[in-house]
Amino acid sequence: MIIPAVWYVAIGPHRDDMEKAIREYGFEPLIPPNQLRGPGSLYLVEGNSFRKVCDVDPPLLTGKLQKSPTLDHVRRRLENGKFSLRGGYINELNAKLEGARVTTIEYRMRDVAISEIAMDDLLEIQDNLLRQKNCDDAVQRLLKANKQVCSGYAALSATTSYKVHYDVKLDTSAEAKMATTAVVQRVIEENSGGRIQIQSGDELSGENLFYGIQLSKFCITPDSATQPSVRPDLQPAEGNGQSGSVFD
């Protein structure tokens, strides 16, 4: 699944401040929030860019992904942010609606928590993935090319609330809004990998979507290596006015 190009702006705290808050807590931002990048999967690490190599099957996470609340001051800081999706997301929606009915979609997080895997469980999941031929072949090819492959260790999760804004020049009756919101629901579900609930004609919500990810410091070490493969600390990404996601 490829997430479409997205433009977004922050309302309230500046976008860079929100990304900074996520990074200061030890996570790399995932924008827009989704479940397509999360703990347990294996990732190719190239500087500040991560790309998924092997996807973890949900049954492997059963009983291993533990969730706990964040510190109060961290939760307040993150929950004060509100973002607006534009660009590719809105173009995709309006193409399905056969008209520019949606102008923007605002979203914000609440019930911020940490979802993480204990180190011993993470190693068990990694071993299971490497027993799968296609995954092991992909990993070994990257290791032979002197690339680094690391497991997703933890994610910053939250309930996401969406507010849909319509073009007031078009039909904005309750019936028209509900029909449009049903399309919005399907598109967000496809692009986030999570289950999205309709709350009203212009509001939706999704539980346990990931806003940030943290990779294990200790990565897969080639059999021929004499030293363990340790992931270097990431350098802060320079702001350029575009999406802050570090995933290709």
Q: What is the chain's length?
A: 248
| Bridge partners (DSSP) listed for residue 44 | 51, 149
Q: Which residue has the tokens 């929100």?
A: 18
User: 3-class DSSP state for residue 5?
Assistant: coil
Burial tier of 78 (Cβ tally within 10 Å: 0-12, 13-18, 19+): buried
Q: What pLDDT is attached to residue 245?
A: 38
Q: Which residue has the tokens 């180190």?
A: 119
- What's the CA gap between 235 and 212, in Å, rounded? 16
CA dist list (Å): 171 to 85, 98, 100, 156, 179: 22, 13, 11, 38, 11
- What's the CA gap between 115 and 121, in Å, rounded? 13
Provide the 8-state DSSP code for 51. Answer: E
Q: What pLDDT is attached to residue 118?
A: 95
Ranges of each domain in the chain: 7-215
- What's the CA gap between 117 and 151, in Å, rounded? 10
- What's the CA gap between 126 and 135, in Å, rounded? 10
Per-residue pLDDT of the chain (248 residues; tens, 9 = 90+): 334 444 444 444 445 566 777 888 888 888 778 999 999 999 999 877 889 999 999 999 999 999 888 777 777 877 887 777 777 778 888 888 876 688 889 888 888 899 999 999 999 999 999 999 999 999 999 999 999 999 999 999 999 999 999 887 877 778 888 888 898 899 889 888 999 999 998 999 999 999 899 999 999 998 888 788 988 765 544 443 333 334 43
Q: What pLDDT is attached to residue 243?
A: 37
pTM: 0.77
Provide the 8-state DSSP code for 23. Answer: H
| Phi and psi torsions of 147, nearest 5° | -95, 160
